[in-house]
Structure 1
Amino acid sequence: MKLIDLNRDGGIGANSHFLQIGDLNIVIDSGLNPKQTGRTATPDFSPLRGVRVDLIIITHCHLDHIGSLPVLMREQKDAAVAMTTSSRMLIERMMHNSASVMLRQKEDNGGKEPVLFTHDDIDRLSKRLLGFPYNQAKRFQGRKDEITIIFHPAGHVAGAAAVEIHHKKRQIFITGDVLFENQRTLPGAKFPAGHFDTMIIETTRGNTERPLGKSRVEEVARLITSINDTINRGGSFLLPVFALGRQQEILSILSDARKFGKLVDCPIFAAGLGMDLADYLDEIARKTKHVNFSKNVIKDLKIQPAPRKLVAGEDPKQNALYIISSGMLVERTPSYTLASGLISHARNTIGFVGYCDSETPGGELLAAKTGDEFLFKTAGVKAKINARVEKFELSGHADREELLEFAVQATPRSIILTHGEQSARDWFKEQLAIKLPQTTVIDPVPLQPYQV
């Protein structure tokens, strides 16, 4: 098998891999780097020039895995696109949101920001998007060779899948983004045990040691306590969330807490794509039984729309709970603007419940200390950090120890590391060298071909 990591910057961002298996050319995911704009935010598809891609496989519908898919599909006009049934129900809505964001950015910047694809592009390409159930083998034929793929539930978010590929006597396993623990809205990953010849594994939490005494149940309780304390002292609590998965999970957690009288009575504001996606997850829950979510939680919590015109550097002083994106406080998003107004007041709290790239404003804020000056560059705000900034271990990604255990039991001949910062990948390299000394571990250099 030939492999090329097409993510031009490595790390986490524009996730995409090119696999040549027999005479079939396959691309796994086609993401977008949220820290970049224009073509630099996409994978580097130059190794695919002159190559006919037979199949594109999507592991799940987060932006860093599907954000450049219409670009790739335009360039590879014959490639079918395979994903789970649930992802097929979500993907067009996610891509249309990206098109709207790009159009808005172009308007805000006087036409300088390029638009990678349009709503018309998505509609035109949609007939090539194919959804398949979990745990059912599907064959794809090349010119001479044939592969069989099986999607396995990967937890993480609705529709997320690991991909098992069979070619002749060879078995390849791609974890995608995975969470083994159960969430309120989604059961944990269910992967097949046993040997695989080659594995491609995510390494997101490789630099995060499993915290002692911080089970998911205990972290949920700590979150509710922190919200109550903030509201009771007259402050506001900002929960930056990812629109797909994390926002619906938090809504379900808060709804349960409210039902059992554990959540303080306060206004709850929410906005953005995540609220729209609540309808989609409700439908997926009814049609596939792979999701446990009801849009009724929005009514039960008496959710109010977040103010459309948040003012940078200004605290709305609503003594309220805000659940808005982006989850990493990416610049020019509602959570970024609101955080710039809340951060200087000790009564407020900003609580992170998901992964934060160290180079995003969210990651930088988590690394800062109380009393530091913090610059919200695109908002034009510099403020002293007086608010509480907290991290709750409710990530949608598996602990490194769980992933390591799964990899070790599979005794693969080769392991390829992906979707992690360098320090995270280094931890996996060190541990795998000890526990699987006969296994070849590859941390691929972007755009460099590997024979695996």
Structure 2
Amino acid sequence: MKLIDLNPQGGIGANSIYLQIGDVNILIDSGLNPKQAGRLAMPDFSLIKDISLDLIIITHCHLDHIGSLPVIMRQHPNAKVVMTHSSKMILDRMLHNSANVMLRQKEENNIPDYPLFTHEEVDRCVPRFTGMEFLQPQKFKGKTDEVEIMMHHAGHVAGACAVELHHKDRHIFVTGDVLFENQRTLRGAQFPSGHFDTVIMETTRGTTERQVGKERVNEVSRLIASINDTINRGGSFLLPVFALGRMQEILSIIHDARKFGRLVKCPIYAAGMGMALADYFDEISRKYQHVQFNRNIIKELNIQPTARKLDAGKDLKQNALYIISSGMLVERTPSYTLASGLIGSDKNTIGFVGYCDPDTPGGQLLQAKQGEDFTFATANVTTKLQARVERFELSGHADREELAEFAIQTQARSVVLTHGDQAARDWFTKELESKMPGSKIIDPVPLKTYEL
């Protein structure tokens, strides 16, 4: 088997892995790096330009896994494109939103490469999408060889799957992004136990040790208590969230707290594509048992839309809860603009509930110290950090110990590390080398070919 990590920067970003299994050419995911722009944000597809892809597998619908999909589909018009049925229901909506964002960024930032694809191209892609049932194997052929594919629940977000591949006597497992714990909206990952020859696994939380008392149920309680305290002090609470998955999860948590009288009365505002995706989650929930979400909670919470135009550096002083994308306070998003007005008051709180890349404004704010100047560069705002900034351990990614335990019990001959910053990969390398002395632990150099 050949493997190439096509993510040119490594880390987390333009996730895309090429596998040649026998003579079957497979691409797993086709993402876009949110920290880059134009073609620099894409995987390096030049290494497979002379290869005829047989199959493109999408593990889930976050931008860092699907953001360049129409580009690779354009380059490989005969490749089959498969994903779970739940992902198929969401995918074109996510790609259309990405096209809108690129058009806006082209105008705002003068990026000549954008858009990488158009709305019309997304529409042409949709008929090529094929949904697969969880745990229902299907066979896909190359010129002479055949690979059997089976998808497993991976938690993380609606439709997310791990991929099991069989070729002759070879047995390969790709975790994708995974969460083993149950969420309010989603059942946790259900992975098969036992031996695999090769495991390709994410490493997102490799630098994060789960502390005693930081269990998910305790973190939910701590989040509600922090919201109540902030509102009672006359402040506002901002929850930056990812549109897909995190928004719906947080809405469910807030709804439960309000329903059982644990959340103070306050206005709740929400904005971003996550609200539109609530309809999709509702539909998926009615069709598939792994998702539990009812969009009626939006009405029951009396959620109001934020103002269409937010003024940078202005505290609206509405003594309210804001649930707004983007989750990492990416520049020129509603959460970024709102945060620029909230951080100057010690009454306010900004609470992060998901992964924050350290190079994003959200990651930088988490590292900032009270009383220091903090700059929102694209908003042209610099303010002393007075607000509380908190992190709640409600990540959509598995704890490192759980992932390591899964890898160890497979006793795989090779474990390939993906989707993690270098420090996270280093932890997994050290841990797995000590616990799997007979296995080869590979932290792949981007764009380098490996024979496994």
Structure-2 separation of matches of 1:213 and 1:107: 47
Structure-2 separation of matches of 1:234 and 1:267: 12
The residue number in structure 2 matching 1:163 is: 163
Query: How far does residue 342 in structure 1 lie from its aligned partner after superposition?
Result: 0.4
**Identity %, equivalent residues:** 69
Query: How far does residue 289 in structure 1 lie from its aligned partner after superposition?
Result: 1.6
The residue number in structure 2 matching 1:21 is: 21
The residue number in structure 2 matching 1:259 is: 259
TM-score (norm 1): 0.99
Structure-1 separation of matches of 2:222 and 2:111: 45
The amino acid that maps onto 2:308 is: R
Q: SS of the counterpart of 2:378?
A: helix
The residue number in structure 1 matching 2:185 is: 185
The residue number in structure 2 matching 1:74 is: 74
Query: How far does residue 110 in structure 1 lie from its aligned partner after superposition?
Result: 5.1
- Superposed, 1:196-275 pairs within 5 Å as 196-275=196-275
- Superposed, 1:427-438 pairs within 5 Å as 427-438=427-438
Contact residue 39 and residue 113 of structure 2 kept, 8 A: no
Superposition CA RMSD, Å: 0.8
Contact residue 82 and residue 131 of structure 1 kept, 8 A: yes
The amino acid that maps onto 1:42 is: M
Structure-1 separation of matches of 2:223 and 2:111: 42
Task: Render the CA deviation track for 1:320-377: whole Å, top value 9, x for unaligned.
Answer: 1000000011111111111111011100000000011111111111111111111111
Q: How many residues align?
A: 452
Structure-2 separation of matches of 1:121 and 1:387: 44
- Superposed, 1:68-217 pairs within 5 Å as 68-109=68-109, 112=112, 114-217=114-217
The amino acid that maps onto 1:426 is: D
Structure-2 separation of matches of 1:64 and 1:211: 28
Structure-2 separation of matches of 1:412 and 1:217: 33
The residue number in structure 2 matching 1:278 is: 278
Task: Render the CA deviation track for 1:256-288: whole Å, top value 9, x for unaligned.
Answer: 000111111111000111000000000000011
Contact residue 38 and residue 112 of structure 2 kept, 8 A: no
Q: SS of the counterpart of 1:189?
A: coil
The residue number in structure 2 matching 1:445 is: 445
CA, structure 1 residues 403+78, in 2 after alignment: closer, same or farther (shift >3 Å)?
A: same
The residue number in structure 1 matching 2:61 is: 61
Structure-2 separation of matches of 1:439 and 1:315: 55
Contact residue 330 and residue 360 of structure 1 kept, 8 A: yes
The amino acid that maps onto 1:309 is: K
Q: Confirm or deny that 1:5 pairs with 2:5.
A: yes
Q: SS of the counterpart of 1:11?
A: coil
Q: SS of the counterpart of 2:432?
A: helix
Q: Confirm or deny that 1:414 pairs with 2:414.
A: yes
Structure-2 separation of matches of 1:108 and 1:269: 26
Query: How far does residue 211 in structure 1 lie from its aligned partner after superposition?
Result: 1.5
Q: Confirm or deny that 1:295 pairs with 2:290.
A: no
Structure-2 separation of matches of 1:112 and 1:197: 44
Structure-1 separation of matches of 2:124 and 2:393: 41
Structure-1 separation of matches of 2:324 and 2:110: 27
Runs of 5+ unmatched residues, structure 1: none
Structure-2 separation of matches of 1:8 and 1:71: 16
Q: SS of the counterpart of 1:228?
A: helix
The residue number in structure 1 matching 2:322 is: 322
Task: Render the CA deviation track for 1:378-404: whole Å, top value 9, x for unaligned.
Answer: 111111110000000000000000000
Structure-2 separation of matches of 1:426 and 1:251: 35
Query: How far does residue 108 in structure 1 lie from its aligned partner after superposition?
Result: 2.4
Runs of 5+ unmatched residues, structure 2: none
The amino acid that maps onto 2:451 is: Q
Q: SS of the counterpart of 1:40?
A: helix
Contact residue 102 and residue 113 of structure 1 kept, 8 A: no
The amino acid that maps onto 1:151 is: M
Q: SS of the counterpart of 1:344?
A: coil
The residue number in structure 2 matching 1:48 is: 48
TM-score (norm 2): 0.99
Contact residue 155 and residue 178 of structure 1 kept, 8 A: yes
